[in-house]
Structure 1
């Protein structure tokens, strides 16, 4: 098969949708190397130039001048000329006119946060996202949701029938599945000046992630919090609060660029706390499970689906619940061990070989 991909996020996003795209293509290339995987992008990439993939750009004048128009319309002709059997939109979009060119299509929809929580988005952005996602969901030959929660949202908001949507979970970077030697962990602890015992939170530091609630929950607990993620105005609010409460010694903001380093920090953490309001899936939870780090997360939405039956669930807005959960887990060695062991067992459904088999089945059914 020759499979084409919308690779905009693959090349341009360093986290989130970029990680999803790179992990998916890595998995497919490793497990099904005889297929041709062709990556279509509007800009000549400066990173992630993996061997084994063909990369295509807009070539003629109008497509070069208007790359967004090429991505939504003009690309269909190039796909036909490249003898692409299936086109996969990796981030909720597919180009128009694929059917006229006889090309089958798959679209991955990660979440519909802009519809579930419209207050978090600008009105114009909501309109644009809704139009693109709805078109893709209604015109793709197969819709892939990254969780049952997202599948239910697609059915609810777009009226797509159950049988048109498959759920294929998101994998995670192999760094989180590799054995960590103690010497390496010691070096990482020293490199990032990490305390002996600490709680970890990873993800963009923005209101819907509720990192502020963790900070408030820790105000009267003697345990440090390490926060890793893109900082926003919300992060500045947290820092101001931390300074006012004189908590700078135990609320630590760290910047980590290497995935291997991040995986080691997960392994070093005593506990991973992730009280997000809404996610399409919540890949940091999976990273924690693979790292054998106990998880405390939100008691609704996708979170029980991602974290499994042996994680600890809380109301993400309730600081007292979060505080109690942290105390309960840290005070019980037996609870920690069960959460580590059972969490790792639960994570095996996100293994590369499992996901690769599910993906190739989708493609084969369309080819």
Structure 2
């Protein structure tokens, strides 16, 4: 098979979709020496770092100096040109890592991570609002195959769209080995100094945007810190949308200096930040999977999470849960974890076992199997 993949989501800084795509491609390169992979990237300003691409003869990168906005407009509005044109070959399977189809002469698979932005277009960046729900609807209808990372996302697709269940494949994500390894002492010290990490902190990792529910986390932390004034709240992630309202909430609660923002942190440093935290909190309103949950568990950190969407499916019985609209519950559960060493130890041990159920190689094997199934239909 000739397999085409749009790799633009990990052109620069990687967040959810980019992390998924990079790990999938690396794992595919380990298990598949038979099929040919054609990787597409475009940007006017940035060139794709070829070191991110597997150095194997069946993986080929095509990096074009076209503005991302023009490529998106041509594909999403005009359904032109077909991606095969850029590779000078007919492609058998094209995999879009987003819910939007890529024009092709072959068959197309899309990955639907979640439907939050379909249901809440106002909760996303401006460029995605215009016509986005309509395009997702059209893509899901026309796609030859759909990959989603959780049964929750699958159930949402079947709930909102007229879609044959047999064309959907649930393929969970994995967790990177980086988070399972104990970092070197010297590196830990450098990370501590670089980010001025406090001696004790609660950790959140993820983009700063409304669906991450950080205002409720801050409200819960404001209750909690009255009993534990020495503990800080560390928020790791890019400011995507809604930062001003979060900043205002911090000021209203008198938490200046107690809530720390690091911005984006690359994985090797992030693994240290996880390991030094007292507890990881994930208050999202909705997730299609929730990679940081597995990263925290792999890093031997207890997890506290909102009981909603796919989160219990990923964390199982290895996390303590709270209602995403209850600051009081957040505070109570934080106190439970930090006061009870037995509960904390049990959660960490269960979490380390849980992450062994998820791997990027398993994800790649199931994805390759799905490619073959769709190709042969």
Using the TM superposition, name which of 3-12 and 303-312 deviates more.
Answer: 3-12
- 1:262 aligned partner: 270
Helix, strand or coil: the match of 2:188? Answer: helix
Q: CA deviation at 1:41?
A: 2.5
- 1:94 aligned partner: 101
Helix, strand or coil: the match of 2:356? Answer: helix
How far, CA to CA, are the matches of 2:177 and 2:47 in structure 1?
22
The 5 A counterparts of 1:294-313 are 294-313=302-321
Q: CA deviation at 1:245?
A: 4.2
- 2:164 aligned partner: 161
How far, CA to CA, are the matches of 1:358 and 1:298 in structure 2?
29
Helix, strand or coil: the match of 1:313? Answer: strand
Q: CA deviation at 1:16?
A: 2.5
How far, CA to CA, are the matches of 1:10 and 1:338 in structure 2?
36
- 1:14 aligned partner: 14
The question of whether the paired residues in 2 share the 8 Å contact of 1:308 and 1:343 is answered with no
TM-score if structure 1 supplies the norm length?
A: 0.88
- 1:209 aligned partner: 212
Helix, strand or coil: the match of 1:218? Answer: helix
Change (3 A) 1:216 1:69: closer
Using the TM superposition, name which of 212-221 and 87-96 deviates more.
Answer: 212-221
- 1:292 aligned partner: 300
Change (3 A) 1:296 1:119: same
What RMSD, in angstroms, separates the aligned Cα atoms of the two structures?
2.8
How far, CA to CA, are the matches of 1:68 and 1:122 in structure 2?
15
2:57 is the alignment partner of 1:78: no
- 1:171 aligned partner: 174
Where in structure 1 are there 5+ consecutive unaligned residues?
A: none
Using the TM superposition, name which of 317-326 and 22-31 deviates more.
Answer: 22-31
**1:67 equivalent among 52, 65, 71:** 71
TM-score if structure 2 supplies the norm length?
A: 0.86
The question of whether the paired residues in 2 share the 8 Å contact of 1:198 and 1:225 is answered with yes
How far, CA to CA, are the matches of 1:354 and 1:293 in structure 2?
24
Instruction: Provide, for residues 303-339 of structure 1, a one-character-per-residue CA deviation record: whole Å limited to 9, x for no partner.
Output: 1012221201101111100000000011111111111
Q: CA deviation at 1:183?
A: 4.0
Instruction: Provide, for residues 242-295 of structure 1, a one-character-per-residue CA deviation record: whole Å limited to 9, x for no partner.
Output: 345443342111134322101110111110011111122111112112112111
- 2:39 aligned partner: 39
Change (3 A) 1:191 1:167: same
Q: CA deviation at 1:29?
A: 1.2
2:277 is the alignment partner of 1:276: no
Q: CA deviation at 1:20?
A: 1.9
Alignment coverage as a number of residue pairs: 361
Change (3 A) 1:247 1:58: closer
- 1:221 aligned partner: 227
How far, CA to CA, are the matches of 2:265 and 2:307 in structure 1?
30
Change (3 A) 1:6 1:250: same
The question of whether the paired residues in 2 share the 8 Å contact of 1:112 and 1:153 is answered with yes
2:114 is the alignment partner of 1:111: yes
Change (3 A) 1:325 1:170: same
Using the TM superposition, name which of 181-190 and 207-216 deviates more.
Answer: 181-190
The question of whether the paired residues in 2 share the 8 Å contact of 1:227 and 1:251 is answered with yes
The question of whether the paired residues in 2 share the 8 Å contact of 1:58 and 1:67 is answered with no
The 5 A counterparts of 1:345-360 are 345-360=353-368
How far, CA to CA, are the matches of 2:246 and 2:124 in structure 1?
21
2:251 is the alignment partner of 1:250: no
Using the TM superposition, name which of 120-129 and 154-163 deviates more.
Answer: 120-129
Helix, strand or coil: the match of 2:357? Answer: helix
**2:330 equivalent among 322, 328, 331:** 322
Q: CA deviation at 1:12?
A: 5.1
How far, CA to CA, are the matches of 1:123 and 1:238 in structure 2?
19
The 5 A counterparts of 1:323-342 are 323-342=331-350
